[in-house]
Structure 1
């Protein structure tokens, strides 16, 4: 059965509450941003890993319950819509966690929130090269996109065997990859948020060798971490301990 999520408000379009028994403002909250082609449901097990916090996730257009919506025109437009929703609903997040493409969206959302006077204390940016140093990303030719995906997480034989399903999935993956390939608005942006950048020791070289460049995008502490695994290290070992450490630090600072 498809995973469903309670909406935060009737007007909510992208924020998904993964911890439904937590009320808004009742405690620390983490907002998760999925990878290219990813969905909010990617993080559905995380509330059990972070029982002391509320866990929400962003649902991008063109998938699951947003399948009929138009793709955003740019990555900053996507981030702007998420930031506007956060401000409209009054949600406050202690940590933004972004994986792969989600790291860029989380960074831009944090920038928008900071400009609006609602800075986020900490970002955890996972499996992502610093934006000025990211490897080239194809998004038009199907063969190029499939070859690109092979480096990270190959499309399963079951999906490849269903041409209509493959075309549907590739449509929104290509749309996401286009957002990353055309993302250029990062230049000169620095946050007052602490940034932790995490990479798997077996991730592709283009990410492993350039993830520390995120240090140029914060005026506060920057921590680079290398963990076991590849690009999707968090499937087997979600970074729950890292997030708990960050949440504990934030609790101590606000006492």
Structure 2
């Protein structure tokens, strides 16, 4: 653990008034502001997001790099916010965090009403994938350009990249340190999987591998675009989130 302050959640300066809470977890290199424009736009649900040290509004603080430590902070900080029905959303690394937060909450008697995993392979696939911690700066910039996460003009700004790359590397270390627990029970809640049609060639395999760790019903939806369709098809994703919550929450 670093000496940075304990993780907190933000409600984007909005009071918690709705019967449901949608906790949104960002992808690697992202912060809570990825979901600021969702606040107030999900009917019946308050939008809440974690404020990670080293990311977003806490950019200048040391970033945690261990998955287990990040998960522990997420679960501890969420405890005071569990007095409403809970839904979880995460994209890419955020999807993995959302799943493990959901499993930890279920073990504590707070079963989520819904888990939405976006742009994220199943835990076993991530856990066994080759690790990318040794990417050179040139290779890392090339990957960012390929995924379209950062505009090319930003990639060519050395001063800006000196600030952004350490944050991204910290998040890659978080993902690389993840190990799925094969003995943990499946998460018993509905799962909605979102994926980019340009990235996933076998949606049936995506469903099958996630079914190894989730025992509830699984719904699969595709969106135009590659890995970061959550940005390029943003309004479609938000509309799907609203529909997913309206159809699933409240069901026990």
- Per the TM superposition, whether the score is higher than 0.5 is yes
For 2:36 and 2:25, how far apart are their aligned partners in 1?
12
Alpha-carbon distance in 2 for matches of 1:188, 1:225: 29
Q: Compare 61-70 and 121-130 and name the one that shifted more.
A: 61-70
Q: TM-score, normalised by structure 1?
A: 0.83
Say whether residues 1:242 and 2:240 are aligned partners: yes
Shift of 1:22: 3.3
> Which residue of 1 is the match for residue 49 of structure 2?
57
Q: TM-score, normalised by structure 2?
A: 0.84
Cα distance in 2 for partners of 1:177, 1:209 equals: 27
Specify which of 12, 16, 19 is matched with residue 22 of structure 1. 16
1:76 paired with 2:72, answer no
Decide whether aligned partners of structure 1 residues 12 and 248 sit closer, same or farther in structure 2, where only a CA change above 3 A counts: farther
Q: Is residue 152 of structure 1 aligned with residue 150 of structure 2? A: no
Q: Does 1:231 align with 2:223?
A: no
Contact 1:99 1:127 in 2 (8 A): yes
Corresponding residue SS for 1:216: coil
The number of aligned residues is: 241
Post-superposition Cα deviations, 1:13-64, rounded to whole Å, max 9, x if no partner, equal: 33111360433xx411111001000111111111243143211112222023
* Alignment partner, residue 210 of structure 2: 214
Residue pair 2:91, 2:230 contacting (<8 A) in 1 also = no
Deviation track 1:69-114 (CA, whole Å, cap 9, x = no partner) reads 3322411221111111111454545210010010111111111111
2:133 is matched with which residue: 120, 132, 139? 139
- Judge which range, 27-36 or 228-237, deviates more: 228-237
| Contact persistence 2:119–2:227 (CA under 8 A) | yes
| In 1, Cα distance between equivalents of 2:239 and 2:73 | 30
Following superposition, the deviation at residue 183 of structure 1 comes to 1.0
Partner deviation per Cα, 1:159-210 (whole Å, 9 max, x = no partner): 23432321110001011011112211343441012111110101266x9685
Does structure 1 retain, via aligned residues, the 8 Å contact 2:123–2:180? no
Alpha carbons 2:40, 2:47 under 8 Å: kept? no
Q: Distance in 1 between matches of 2:65 and 2:191?
A: 27
Q: Does the 8 A contact of 1:195 with 1:215 survive in 2?
A: no
| Structural RMSD (CA) | 2.5
